[in-house]
Amino acid sequence: MTTGHRTAPTVHTAVVGLQWGDEGKGKIVDLLTSEHDVIVRYNGGANAGHTVQVGTERYALHLIPSGILYGDKTCVIGNGVVVDPEKLLQEIDTLRARGIRVGTNLRISDRAHVVMPYHKEQDAALEEYLTSKTAHDQGNLSIGTTRRGIGPAYADKVRRSMAIRVGDLLDPEYLRSRLHVICKLRTAEIEALGVKTAPLDPEALATRYAEFGERLRPHVDDTVYALHDSIRAGRRILFEGANASLLDIDHGTFPYVTSSNCSTLGIPAGTGVPGAAIGRVLGIMKAYSTRVGAGPFPTELDNELGHRIRERGREYGTTTGRPRRCGWLDLVAVRYSAMVCGATGIACTLFDVLSGFDEIKLCVRYRLPDGTETDRFIPDAHRLEGVTPIYETMPGWSDEIRDAADRDSLPATARKYLSRIEEVTGIPIEVVSLGPERTQTLVDGRRAIALATA
Ligand code: GDP
Ligand code: IMO
Ligand code: MG
């Protein structure tokens, strides 16, 4: 047993979505980036769309961590991400064209798996098949994916023999030999879904993807060692979750989920950094709920109220432009995802969107088909379909709150709404977001950045 002086360990932070995505993770990561040195994506791929607004400039990040906008931070795409090199290079070019530095500050794991064009073809073909009449006889099982090839790429990772990793792109002969085998089998798999496709050309693919590899070479790294070196050097890490906990492959509303562990449980596997290194988990929660794509959504408002939320919140997908389904805040779901993620605090975002409603509802329990009640979430689509939300109804507020200086100056009913969320979840709301811009944020009850400096 040591009795000597021990310095407090550096606190590393995770930002994670507590609902079905688009909670405003990009905005909060941008806000926290100033206090961190390294920003790391650990899961998902170009299915994510993280918006950051700086003044009147809006940036949509898909594969690159949102911290890239600062220019002086190291941004890491961890081994748990599936990388579409074509999309990544486009994203790099777009950012550079807007004056953002993307050089050696962007590190990409050599072990991250590659999304190939045939993954996107397979993703679309399977979705079309499941939407078609033939499949409907068995019930419509289409997931409403982003068609970015995410599921097929992760499936190849798990299948092992059909997978390509970023490191493979740097070895053209090895890449070519793998693609010859993969393409033969892959054409047959796509055709089995009823899609007539030209046979995949392994030579053309190998040449093209080796070129992508050359362009990415300066960024490719053993990011596991790089991250541990950073930790030893006392640098602070910020883990940026993509997608969200209720879309987690193991803990979400299966099968209407994405194919990665988007909750904080994905961090150790997706980066090589043990979970014990994370001291702070900020769960991002919209003040209401949204969902894109198919799957159960107990508090959905498929009516005029839902439409009003969609228009006020500009709820259209950052990645696909699809209108998002909207509904009241589901605290049964949020309490569950906060538990799975180990959330130490909550950021309540898009709070300004709720101004102007006569009354606002909070779902605190579910009624099950047998008439009994539960406060437990059901991470299974088929069983979750059967629940009815039980609401607490609260009066709304009419004033716009975007310019509120602190939490105390919010309308009393708005303050009560926040307090009730804290009571039900047992987790403090550390951040309240009142608009898309950096300055429109209350941290620990006060404006994070003075309006005057905007
Ligand atoms: P992410 O995927 O979790 O990063 O979220 P998205 O970027 O896909 O969607 C969030 C949207 O809400 C973006 O358009 C943001 O600019 C916007 N946004 C973020 N925070 C707020 C807020 O507090 N109020 C309003 N009105 N918009 C916000
Ligand atoms: P961000 O990071 C919202 C949803 C899709 C679909 C399901 C599976 O911006 O919050 P996939 O293409 O991953 O196989 O689709 O998951 N989905 C998201 N919804 N925000 C996201 O990311 C999402 N990423 C995946 O709409 O229902
Ligand atoms: Mg998004």
Q: What is the pLDDT of residues 104-138, one digit of tens each?
A: 999 999 999 999 999 999 999 999 989 886 666 66
Mean pLDDT of 315-334: 93
- Provide the sign of the torsion angle of the four alpha carbons 430, 433, 437, 441, taken in this order: negative
Residue 133 main-chain phi, psi, to 5 deg:
-60, -40
CB distance 352 to ligand 1 below 6 Å: yes
Atom 17, ligand 2: which residue's CA is nearest?
Answer: 243
Residue 450 has pLDDT above 60, yes or no: no
216 pLDDT higher than 70: yes
Does 17 sit in the ligand 1 pocket, CB within 6 Å?
A: yes
For residue 190, name the pLDDT band (cuts at 50, 70, 90): confident
Q: Is the pLDDT of residue 1 over 70?
A: no
CA of 169 to the centre of ligand 3 (A): 28
Phi, psi of 17 (to 5 degrees): -75, 135
Instruction: Write down the pLDDT at residue 448.
Output: 80
The span from the CA of 322 to the CA of 158, in Å, is 30
| Percent over 90 (pLDDT), the chain | 87
- Of the candidates 359, 364, 343, 336, which has an alpha carbon nearest to the alpha carbon of residue 423? 364
The rounded distance, in Å, linking the Cα atoms of 315 and 234 is: 39
Distance CA 62, CA 357 (A): 33
pLDDT at residue number 454: 34
Centroid of ligand 1 to alpha carbon of 6 (angstroms)? 41
Name, in order, each residue with C-beta under 8 angstroms of 366's C-beta and a sequence gap of 6 or more: 298, 332, 373, 374, 375, 376, 378, 387, 388, 389, 390
pLDDT at 48: 97
pLDDT of 188: 87
**pLDDT tens-digit readout, 233-276:** 999 999 999 999 999 999 999 999 999 999 999 999 999 999 99
For ligand 1, whether the C-beta of 251 sits within 6 Å is no
Q: State the pLDDT at residue 408.
A: 96
Is the CB of residue 122 less than 8 Å from the CB of residue 14?
no
Q: Is residue 285 a contact partner of residue 19, using CB atoms and an 8 Å limit?
A: yes
Per-residue model confidence (pLDDT) at position 134: 65
Task: State the average pLDDT for the chain.
Answer: 94
Question: Mean pLDDT, to the nearest integer, of 372-396?
Answer: 97
436 CB under 6 A from ligand 1?
yes
Q: What's the CA angle centered on 100, arms 107 and 24, to 5 degrees? A: 80
**Nearest Cα residue to atom 16 of ligand 1:** 436
- In angstroms, what is the span from residue 48 Cα to ligand 1's centroid? 13
Residue 441 CB less than 6 A away from ligand 1: no
Residue 328 in this model has a pLDDT that exceeds 70: yes
Say how many Å lie between the CA of residue 150 and the centre of ligand 2.
Answer: 10
| Backbone phi, psi, residue 8, to 5° | -65, 140
- Of the listed ranges 72-86, 162-176, 193-207, 332-346, the one predicted with least confidence: 193-207
Q: Tokens 């006569």 belong to which residue?
A: 358
pLDDT digits (tens, 9 = 90+) for 147-172: 999 999 999 999 999 999 999 999 99
pLDDT at 8 exceeding the cut of 80: no
> Is the Cβ–Cβ distance between 32 and 257 less than 8 Å?
no
Hey, what domains does the chain have and what are their CATH numbers?
12-107+222-452 (3.90.170.10), 113-218 (1.10.300.10)
pLDDT score at 207:
98
Q: What integer is the mean pLDDT of 228-232?
A: 98
